[in-house]
Structure 1
């Protein structure tokens, strides 16, 4: 990736549409992310600001983010100073990855109040800071920096705002030919590697990706017959061509596959990349496509790490239990052997005495009436030895019944755990608490302090994902067991079509129509396969039947159903095809 100063410049230019708009609702879906709703020029915009150490970014978004019931303190401060405020300006600091959003509003006393949100997109040092421009002091930051962390600057309420350290680089947009040629010649920028390194080290806001592109263009466009070394004049020509586009705000946002198989994004046309290019109409759309799934999966993974560990441990315990139960069943199959020995000893008591270590008797259960040697405990009487074999027989019979029942329950437990693990892999931010609440209700984990009780949790609003097929038919997908049960048992009607991967943990999918064609059925099957444990497989079997043939057995775990009258089709999940379907959140 290359979130450099040039991308930030393109973003700031794009965000001019928000200038003069009124900031509406503000929420903080995660510890690193802020979402501002802005009404400007008759349009509602949603601005995502992320200080994630892994995926820092700022762009307009069309995605929906959950609004936590209890807002963090930083979010409350943002609401106090910016909700209802007019966004006066969005500016980039020099060519740095720093953006200032300045807004004004009337405070509680009716006085005009101006505050600034400083967004620093600096990798693991990224931050979102509220600054009072009148005093230059920090109101608060989404990440605090104490003297123990940094000796250069402090990010704490009441501290003076100090910008990140200046790297002493020149502005690429202000470069002139004469100074460029002198500096390039003095630095010895004569090949792709040295030219790339010099551009990154000398100019502010240029990433290695863009520097590589400039060096590539310079080498490509040199006069025919020139040496392999890059002439300073050729390097200037390529550099000036890129900067001319930046000055004129002529951007080419795209995601491109590189030679080593990685994907990168840039607002500069990457002619050196040999892979496929996916262009976008806006920088925000490009960043959302590039970061969206990665950032979401990373956040979900962090929030569900404890559940993943717990469920994996529980699954391992049940797999071990399964092995022991199968051993018990194998041993219990010999139960009749102990009954026969007891009966043969009882019939031969008159021939035995205490102290015998073995009894050789005629086995009248055998067709050939062969003799059978039965081991005895010499400390027991013959009668007590016979009773000992009868007790072993009864114990084996009992354990056979109990083990068979436990075996079935353990298989069901593993199936349930596999289902929840699959749901965690496909979960969105809004789905995590529903899964956690379900596990608490089932007795797997403790309910977190301050959370709703089970009855209130059930009464809470349930949101499911609704896709629209290419034929305009609504397809509903449950992402966890709470949603699955709602979609299948409460929302769907008797003649709606229900789909699920065959014998594979996955989502319940419902086509809410009695009239649809093969395209809709195939797309619904694609969704069932994609939101399942077989997401990365080919030729995934998907069963489909009418809702009236689907039912939940009494006492079954959440999300478990049985069905009949099904048909099966085979599909290979295609993420690109699924992304073409219109998607929205539907609440009951």
Structure 2
């Protein structure tokens, strides 16, 4: 299975979870790994399900994962503040690999921020984005993640879904990158999706982005802007022996010939 989510994956996940989790009530919180939380939620008329937040994935599950016999201090802190609260909103921050969960109670408002890049992190904030708790203290040149600090987003990247053709040309000008590297890093799409776009456009991924003809850029630009409207729905890809290969928001041509199973949600 692939080991990371793209920004487009996160966008689709946030949209789905915003619908699925609205009105769910927190029953309990567990830290089940160094960078993994299990939030047990109650859904009226349905019962309990678990929201799993890890460093490189998110899911809503009915599968019972084991919990440690003694809660961590972070889990205890989250229990103290979140038990009984309702999830009111789930959203992506810009076009980044960050998902925010908004919790509300009778007299409280909290924000849980899942950063799904690098080693990952889960940051617990109050209504003013003051950090109350954090899985891992982190520090960069441009920001610090620690208790008592105000939470700031990392520097914003490009949102390719809103990029116009002139903006694309400006990014390409002077670039020495090959096509797939440009799509993955400069357009914030990740390597797997970058390769898929090259395949659909009929462009060799190792060509320099600056070498593409105007007609090739036109085709690539249309594919990029159409990413938010691709049809077909989420799929699970398996090899001939039934081993899972990838969970995808839509079918990739890269995996044609393997077993493809449509799923109801990503």
Same fold (TM over 0.5): yes
- Secondary structure of 1:117's aligned partner: strand
Q: Deviations over 1:416-447 (max 9, x none)?
A: xxxxxxxxxxxxxxxxxxxxxxxxxxxxxxxx
SS of match in other structure, 1:101: strand
Describe the superposition over 1:550-569 as per-residue Cα deviations: whole angstroms up to 9, x where unpaired. xxxxxxxxxxxxxxxxxxxx
Aligned pair count? Answer: 250
Q: Secondary structure at the match of 1:174?
A: coil
1:185 and 1:160 mapped to 2: Cα distance?
35
1:496-515 equivalences in 2 (<5 Å):
none
Whether the 8 Å contact between 1:256 and 1:273 is mirrored in structure 2 is no
SS in 1 for 2:254: coil
1:13 aligns with 2:7: no
Distance in 2 between residues matched to 1:3 and 1:45, nearest whole Å: 22
Contact 2:232–2:251 (Cα < 8 Å) also in 1: no
Q: Deviations over 1:195-237 (max 9, x none)?
A: 2222223323x111111111111117xxxxxxx9671112123
Partner of 2:159: 171
> What secondary structure sits across from 1:158 in the alignment?
coil
Return 5+ residue gaps in structure 2 as ranges. 204-211
2:39 aligned with 1:45: no
Aligned residue number for residue 28 of structure 1: 31
Find the counterpart in structure 2 of residue 470 from structure 1.
Answer: none
CA deviation string 1:67-93 (max 9, x = no partner): 222111000111011110011111110
1:389-538 paired onto structure 2 within 5 Å: none
Per-residue CA deviation, residues 144-163 of structure 1 (Å, 9 max, x unaligned), is: 23xxx544433222122222
2:111 to 94, 107, 116: 116
**Larger proportion of strand:** 2
TM-score, normalised by the number of residues in structure 2? 0.82
Distance 1:241 1:152, change over 3 A: closer
Q: Distance in 2 between matches of 1:8 and 1:79?
A: 26
Residue 209 of structure 2 is matched in structure 1 by: none
**5 Å matches for 1:549-568?**
none
Matched, 1:139 2:132: yes
- Residue 239 (structure 1) aligned to one of 215, 220, 224: 224
* CA shift in 2, pair 1:199/1:122, >3 Å: same
**Aligned-pair distance for 1:250?**
6.1
1:273 matched to 2:247? The reply is: no
| 1:57 CA drift (Å) | 1.5
* Partner SS for 1:160: coil
1:86 and 2:95 aligned: no
> CA offsets, 1:305-341, max 9 Å, x none?
xxxxxxxxxxxxxxxxxxxxxxxxxxxxxxxxxxxxx
Q: Which residues of 2 match residues 282-431 of structure 1 at below 5 A?
A: 282-284=264-266
Classify the secondary structure of the residue corresponding to 1:65: coil
Question: Residues 24 and 84 of structure 1 are in contact (CA less than 8 Å); yes or no, is this contact kept in structure 2?
Answer: yes
Q: Distance in 2 between matches of 1:250 and 1:274?
A: 14
1:233–1:154 distance in 2 versus 1, CA, 3 Å: closer
Per-residue CA deviation, residues 117-136 of structure 1 (Å, 9 max, x unaligned), is 01001132x101101123x2
Does the alignment pair 1:58 with 2:58? yes
Separation (CA, whole Å) in 2 of partners of 1:78 and 1:14: 24
Distance 2:62 2:118 in 1: 24
Whether the aligned pair in 2 keeps the contact of 1:210 and 1:268 (CA below 8 Å) is no
Q: Distance in 2 between matches of 1:79 and 1:185?
A: 48
1:77 aligns with 2:77: yes
Give TM-score, length-normalised by structure 1: 0.39
Where in structure 1 are there 5+ consecutive unaligned residues?
107-111, 221-227, 285-588
Which residue does the alignment assign to 1:200? 184
Report whether the alignment pairs 1:213 with 2:196. Answer: yes
**In structure 2, how many angstroms separate the alpha carbons of the residues matched to 1:30 and 1:185?**
41
- Tell me how far apart the structure 2 counterparts of residues 121 and 185 of structure 1 sit (CA, whole Å): 27
Question: Which SS does the other structure have where 1:11 is aligned?
Answer: helix
Asked if the contact 1:127/1:142 (under 8 Å) is kept, the reply is yes
Give the 3 Å change call, closer, same or farther, for CA 83–176 of structure 1 in structure 2.
Answer: same
Q: Residues 130 and 250 from structure 1, CA distance in 2 versus in 1: closer, same or farther, beyond 3 angstroms?
A: farther
Q: 1:214, 1:127 → 2: CA distance?
A: 29
| Contact 1:8/1:92 (<8 A) preserved | yes
Mapped partners of 1:171, 1:266: distance in 2: 20
Structure possessing the higher radius of gyration over alpha carbons: 1
- The equivalent of 1:437 in structure 2 is none
Aligned position for 1:104: 104
